[in-house]
Structures are given as C-alpha cells and as structure tokens.
Amino acid sequence: MAVTPNRKRGPFQVKRIFTTLDAAAISGLELKIVQNLIDKKVVILERSGGGRRSPRFLSRHHLLCLRLDYYLTSNLSVPKRARLYRELEERPGLENYSVNPVVHLDVAWVRRDVDARIADLDEAISTLGANRQDPTFPHTQIKVYDTVRLLELGLDPQDIISEYTLTERQLYLARLWVVAHPHKN
C-alpha cells in the first residue's frame, strides 16, 4: 500500500497498489497476458523510476481495465480498448460506456466485480497466508498447491470437495491464492 496526500479527505489517504501477480488473480487473465497488455501500452502504468526493469505496480483503475479486457478481448480492437481505458482514467465516475450504438458497457458492474475479487483475494491471503512456503487449508493438513494442481490436472472439483471435506469457496480462494503466489520449485 502507498500513502498519498489527498486534500479532499484530509491530509492522507491510503492508496492501494497491486503487483502483476495480484492483477492476474483479480482480473482472471493469465500473467503473461497482463504483462503483454502493459508492454503494448493497452494498460498504461506509471513507472517508479529505473526504466524497463522497474517494478510494475497497478492501481484499482488498472485492475478495472484488465477486468474489462477479460470481457472485451474478442469484441474490441486493441486501439479501441486503449482509448476506452484512457477515457475511464479521465472520467473515474463513468458508469456506462457506449462502444457503438449497439454495444454498451456497464462499467459500474465491472467496478463492483473488481472490488469483490479484491475482497476475495484479501480473504484468500488472510485465510491461507501471505507468503507461506507450503500453505495448508486452515485446521487441516491439506496442501493448497497440491489441491490446485489436482484441479489443473482435470480432477472434478466435486471429487476434491468430497474427498478432502473442503467447500467450493475454499477451492475458489485456493485458486486465487495460487495465481497470486505461484509455487517456486
């Protein structure tokens, strides 16, 4: 989190920043796609100095753009998406956006979706741990990475739920956590 001055709400306001791994988990896009959208300047970040190798930190606005990209990839060209994202940054309260006379975006709904996914990632981190090496589900010895790997291998989630007495919510949070904290072998 970063702290920035804000005259409207008092001397300081907490501005949360996210890593590209957080952005991948929240947006639903693969990490490589998130990085490509940044590299191609579809989603434009302000660098914190240091040139190309400087860390990439994203704001809630960037997460909104990435989540919109999750829904729009096949429907809008890259230049149109980039233009949309710039307009959303200039007009942060925009609730609806007309792409053309037929296509209208409910930006407010996507904002609520992003906020919900941020809350889900926060819950996953608080439940499964922020930086633990080999996390387990609370009050069990069931390893998070192993469980998500079973899902990736195609095992039916209902089989995992019944075998390990987990909930669908726990599996969803585990998937989010693993995207934001990839296993380091």
pLDDT tens string 76-115: 888 888 888 888 889 988 898 887 788 788 899 999 999 9
* Helix, strand or coil, per DSSP, at residue 92: coil
Closest of 13, 14, 59, 12 to residue 38, by C-alpha:
59
- Provide the whole-model pTM: 0.82
Q: What is the Cα–Cα distance from 181 to 121, expressed in whole angstroms? A: 11
* Helix, strand or coil, per DSSP, at residue 13: strand
pLDDT tens string 13-35: 567 889 999 999 999 999 999 99
Q: What is the Cα–Cα distance from 68 to 85, expressed in whole angstroms? A: 9
Q: What is the Cα–Cα distance from 53 to 39, expressed in whole angstroms? A: 12
